[in-house]
């Protein structure tokens, strides 16, 4: 089943107002000739209103790097899904490996955040992946399977028709290491097969992205795999030419 590709650029803790203007301008021009691919950028929170305005009436999508599990209340420092939607955020990352590692986010909290995003009409990109120790111990499927299962248990099988999953092996993020196309495909196939057991139609529509040192030089080979539907791009999304090269792959 043909699935529209998605390339998501996660700027992490990088950026400035000047960078936003330059990047969005370059991307708007460069994306005019690209078809069959959705492209979205995920700047830090302070730049969401600016990027939303700069990207208005263009094909460039906008996402946030995190979301609160709460809709409102006394939760200082958190941002709700309704707030994100006000600024044209169509996507939000849930459970990025850095949130799991540095902020102790559990599988259950990630699932709660995904539910909060759906409740607000924002598409959650649910990040899953294993550490190097877990891969070397042969626990990749166990770890990734548990992360996916927590989401299914919280949201229900039918909700998987409204989410995106990003497989990001922790050992390949910011290290320069990349899973081989075969390694990445194997995990993507594993994820899709889990959903197929619940609903083959939903599994066929589910977009599963790969994240982990994707560059324009290796993107085409990765994206050629049958179960890899695009990428969650980190450092390479900070340079317009490189990011456009990935989108074109």
Rounded Cα–Cα distance for residues 151 and 158 (Å) = 11
C-alpha 190: how far from chain center: 18
Rounded Cα–Cα distance for residues 16 and 189 (Å) = 38
* Residue 169: how many other CB atoms lie within 10 Å: 27
Q: Residue 174 corresponds to which tokens in the numbers above?
A: 């910011």
Catalytic residue, candidates 96, 98, 112, 130: 96
- Is 96 among the catalytic positions? yes
Contact status, residue 90 vs residue 101, Cβ threshold 8 Å? no
Task: Give the pLDDT of residue 5.
Answer: 93
Task: Give the pLDDT of residue 167.
Answer: 97
Residue 79's φ and ψ, nearest 5 degrees, are -130, 130
Indicate the burial class of 90 (C-beta count within 10 angstroms; 0-12, 13-18, 19 or more): middle
Q: Residue 161 corresponds to which tokens in the numbers above?
A: 């028709």
- Is 242 among the catalytic positions? no
Extract the runs of DSSP E, i.e. beta strands, from 48-205.
Answer: 60-64, 91-94, 123-128, 164-167
Cα Rg, the chain, nearest whole Å:
17
Q: What is the pTM of this model?
A: 0.96
Residue 50's φ and ψ, nearest 5 degrees, are -65, -50
Contact status, residue 160 vs residue 200, Cβ threshold 8 Å? no
Task: Give the pLDDT of residue 33.
Answer: 79
Report residues of the chain scoring pLDDT below 50: none
Helix (H, G, I), strand (E, B) or coil at 46: helix
Q: What is the DSSP letter of 227?
A: T
Catalytic residue, candidates 98, 105, 130, 168: 168
Summarize pLDDT for 14-61 with one digit per residue, the tens: 999 999 999 999 999 999 878 789 999 999 999 999 999 999 999 999
Closest of 143, 129, 137, 4 to residue 61, by C-alpha: 4
Using the Cα atoms of residue 85, residue 151, residue 38 and residue 180 in order, give the sign of their dihedral.
positive
Task: Give the pLDDT of residue 1.
Answer: 57
Q: Which residues contact 97 (CB under 8 A, 6 or more apart)?
A: 127, 129, 168, 170, 173
Contact status, residue 227 vs residue 189, Cβ threshold 8 Å? yes
Closest of 119, 108, 49 to residue 81, by C-alpha: 119
């Amino acid at each position: 089943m043909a699935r529209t590709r998605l390339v998501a650029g996660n700027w992490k803790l990088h950026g400035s107002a000047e960078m936003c203007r330059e990047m969005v301008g370059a991307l708007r021009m460069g994306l005019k000739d690209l078809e069959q691919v959705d492209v979205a950028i995920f700047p830090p929170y302070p730049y969401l209103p600016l990027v939303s305005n700069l990207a208005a009436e263009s094909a460039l999508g906008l996402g946030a790097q995190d979301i609160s599990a709460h809709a409102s209340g006394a939760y200082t420092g958190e941002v709700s899904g309704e707030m994100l939607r006000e600024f044209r955020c169509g996507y939000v990352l849930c459970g990025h490996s850095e949130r799991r590692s540095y902020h102790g986010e559990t599988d259950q909290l990630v699932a709660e955040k995904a539910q909060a995003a759906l409740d607000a009409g924002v598409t959650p990109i649910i990040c899953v992946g294993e550490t190097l120790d877990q891969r070397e111990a042969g626990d990749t499927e166990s770890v990734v399977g548990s992360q996916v299962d927590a989401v299914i248990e919280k949201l229900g099988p039918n909700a998987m028709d409204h989410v995106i999953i990003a497989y990001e092996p922790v050992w390949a993020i910011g290290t320069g290491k990349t899973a081989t196309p075969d390694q990445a495909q194997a995990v993507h196939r594993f994820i899709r097969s889990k959903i197929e057991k619940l609903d083959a139609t939903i599994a066929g529509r589910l977009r599963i992205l790969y994240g982990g040192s994707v560059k324009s030089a290796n993107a085409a080979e990765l994206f050629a795999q049958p179960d890899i539907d695009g990428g969650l791009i980190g450092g390479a999304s900070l340079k317009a030419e490189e990011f456009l090269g990935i989108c074109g792959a």
